[in-house]
Amino acid sequence: MASTAATAPGTSPADAPPSSVPAAALSCAQVTVHFGTRAVLTNVSASAHAGELLTIIGPNGAGKSTLLRVLAGLLMPQTGTVRIASGASAASEDLFDLPPPRRAAMLAFAASSTGSGSTGLSGAAGLSVGQYAALGAAAVWPPRSPEAACRAVGRALARVGLTDRATDPLGVLSTGLQQLATLARVLVQIDPQDSPDPTTPPPSLDGRVLLLDEPTSAMDPRHIGKVLTLLRELTSRGCAVIMATHDLTLASHADATLVLGPDGTAAAHGPCATVLRPEILQAVYGVAFETVHRPDGRTLVLPVH
């Protein structure tokens, strides 16, 4: 698993000189986004490597969802670049130059269930949970056979714990369970498992990238733990996962964190141990933080209310 060195505020390893660090699975450099006259992101650079879980944190309005939309290729920035690497080669390509089918084969995006960056689930509320998860197969090119698509949906629903809800309308599920259904949808897209034999070892996910916008915001602690375990299973197979979250405890389980400040600049980017510090978080959130040392050796940084 690749790790990222801590950097000064507003910089990232994407700006560093070439070294022995492998090419990033997905990276952005000097990304700036304006909505009208308002700057949402300013010169943001970040990267995630194969097998790495990168979290994006920051206060409301800092540009987390906007950055994910840029990284997903859904929003063209006014300046800056986004590059994606193939698992078969260290070379990277401009994400916006890739045709949609090829991009969808490499990258999946689950938007937040709320907020302006959300694609919303209202249009899919009448679909069953299984039908909604099957939408992930529509993004795969070349298309899977109906049998392979059905296997992929069944596996994905089992992995998120929704097998018994497969025929329920999506609209009757709680928001937290809808988030699990959305996770199942992107699993169908991003995970190429295609063997009817459950004993077949799962394939490598090198070259695959999963983007998640607040995927656990409405979940209870048990389901958050389930999602974290699932994401770690994906990274263990080489997938790069980039997740925006307000849950600092969840962020502490990541390999690296990008902190966005209220002005849409990168306040810090690097390993969690060097980024999730009271002085950095207090500067961007405007409230005091304290360090809590757990008996198992883990360190948490929590707000003081």
Helix (H, G, I), strand (E, B) or coil at 175: helix
Residue 153: inside a domain? yes
CA separation for the pair 213, 205 (Å, rounded): 20
Q: What is the pLDDT of residue 200?
A: 83
Residue-level pLDDT at 127: 94
Does 213 map to a domain? yes
Residue 77 has pLDDT above 90, yes or no: yes
25-to-29, 89, 264 alpha-carbon distances in Å: 13, 10, 23
The string of pLDDT tens digits covering residues 218-255 is: 999 999 999 999 999 999 999 999 999 999 999 999 99
pLDDT at 21: 53
* DSSP structure class, residue 195: -
Instruction: Using alpha carbons, select from 269, 272, 274, 301 the residue that is nearest to residue 285.
Output: 301
> In this structure, what token pair is assigned to residue 209?
């990238």
Preceding peptide of 142 cis, ω within 30°: yes
Residue with the larger pLDDT of the pair 13 and 175? 175
Ramachandran category for residue 79: left, alpha or beta (phi over 0 → left; psi -120 to 50 → alpha): beta
pLDDT band, residue 144 (cuts 50/70/90): confident
CATH number for the domain including 145? 3.40.50.300
| pLDDT-wise least confident of 10-24, 250-264, 286-300 | 10-24
In this structure, is residue 144 part of a structural domain? Answer: yes
Per-residue model confidence as pLDDT tens digits over 204-223: 999 999 999 999 999 999 99
Q: What is the pLDDT of residues 286-305, one digit of tens each?
A: 999 999 988 888 889 999 98
For residues 178 and 123, the answer to whether their CB atoms sit within 8 Å is no
- What number is the average pLDDT over the span 46-64? 97
Work out how many domains the chain is built from and give that number. 1
- Distance, in Å, from the CA atom of 17 to the CA atom of 15, rounded to the nearest integer, reads 7
Gap between the terminal Cα atoms of the chain: 36
Residue 103 maps to a domain: yes
* The pLDDT of residue 270: 97
- Residue 148 within a domain: yes
Average pLDDT, whole number, for the chain?
88
Q: Note the pLDDT tens digit of each residue in 128-138.
A: 999 999 999 98
Decide if 135 is inside a domain. yes
Phi and psi at residue 270, in whole multiples of 5°?
170, -170
Helix (H, G, I), strand (E, B) or coil at 229: helix
So what's the pLDDT on residue 88? 55
* 44: in domain: no
What distance in Å separates the CA atoms of residue 122 and residue 18, rounded to the nearest whole number?
46
Domain holding 107, by residue range, is: 49-60+99-255+266-303
Residue 72 lies in a domain: no
Q: Using pLDDT thresholds of 50, 70 and 90, give the confidence band for residue 115.
A: very low
Highest mean pLDDT, choosing among 9-13, 15-19, 83-87, 105-109: 105-109
> What is the arithmetic mean of pLDDT over 96-125?
77
